[in-house]
Amino acid sequence: MSTHGHFAEKFKDILLGRAFHMSLIIFVLLAFLYFSGGTSIILSILIQVAVFSIITMSLNLEAGYTGIPQFGRVAAVIAGAFAVGAIPGRIMAFFMSLPYGAEYASDTVNVKLVPQINAVLAGSWLLSLGFLLMCIVIAGAAGALVGWLISRPAIRLKEAYLGISMLAIGDFLMWVGHNWNIIVGGSVPVYVPDPFRIFGAARFNVIVPAFFLIAIIIFIYLNRLVKSPLGRNFRMLRDNELSASAAGLDIVKVRTQSLVIGACIAAIGGGLYVIYTGSVAAIGMTRLTFTFWPWAYMMLGAIGSNVGVFLGVFLLTILRTMIIIYRSQWFGFLQAAGIDPLWLEYTLLGAVIIIVILFLPYGLVPEKVRPMLPANRVKKVISQKQMQT
């Protein structure tokens, strides 16, 4: 086939592909929200998509590609959020000769310290960029540590038992942060220094491309990872643990690698989330937001497909936003029957998830079956065998 014919065939596949159709639907819904609600709604959606794409792709690595029942995604997110809320600000306070010990997390002290730190960050591009990179590195390191600790039960526990233990660890970390004041203020939120304060009123306009750039880098990294020998080990473990063990694969080591990498990425998402919100409250880091929703995004998009995950996060975030904004307008008639439309958010989203599962059981963009070797190498091996015979 000629080069022109190859590209024409590729372009035809793209136009007929489900990913392209989903992208068109997302574009139409975004256009509707833009003309009806303005730019602020679009920016809010895009920031959520960037953050939760990172978190959900990390979940997809562990649950979708490795087959680990990761029901404690919130644990790694909490690790990243707490690390960014507790450490970088203290480092800045130390160099500025401000209180940086246990008193830093006191609400009466923190509310005065963070504006001073923000004023310094707002005066230097280089310092703001360095602070952002420090937050990402600290969050990733904290997540990797938590991922390694979580992997210890993976040595002995399997399936449901492992999933429940991860769920418990997530709640444990949340309540530790809620009751141990010196981490992130306990029951009172602490403010997080803002590396985007230098942009002033354009802060949200800059956060969107910055967060999307980080999400794209992680997307590229994970796609390369799953195609590598380590990624093939992950899929081998997912597809048949007994065969993987018989082939000499170290099950515990592979699980540990997946959990550490996944937790590192999820923690980066948690760190970016608290930078965006400007504060961190331990009680707000719930399993509903950071475990259930990533699972819903992954199931809607397609387990084992990062493209599907991204589209699933995008579509469900848009639908959720539309339901929140227009539920009273669209379903106000239910008040006559004693039903308050304000409570329809989870009911309608649950119905969307059920419908998708019924009609698209493998998700919006299912995982493609990939050969262990590229097609050109397979053809080369076959031709060599034929020449030998």
> Rounded to whole angstroms, how far apart are CA atoms 25 and 53?
18
pLDDT score, position 11: 40
pLDDT score, position 15: 45
Asked whether residue 191 is domain-assigned, the answer is yes
pLDDT score, position 7: 44
Asked whether residue 388 is domain-assigned, the answer is no
Other Cβ atoms closer than 10 A to 244: 20
pLDDT score, position 327: 80
Asked whether residue 320 is domain-assigned, the answer is no
Asked whether residue 135 is domain-assigned, the answer is yes
Residue 317 Cα distances to 88, 104, 108, 242, 294, angstroms = 30, 35, 36, 38, 11
pLDDT score, position 155: 64
Q: Which amino acid is at 275?
A: I
pLDDT score, position 276: 94
Other Cβ atoms closer than 10 A to 264: 24
Asked whether residue 154 is domain-assigned, the answer is yes
pLDDT score, position 220: 94
Number of domains in the chain: 1
pLDDT score, position 369: 65
Q: What share of the chain has pLDDT > 70, as a percent?
A: 91
Helices 306-330, 293-301: axis angle to 10 degrees equals 110
**Structural domain span for residue 263:** 51-311
What residues of the chain score a pLDDT lower than 70? Answer: 1-17, 154-156, 369-378, 381, 389
pLDDT score, position 379: 72
pLDDT score, position 70: 86
pLDDT score, position 14: 44
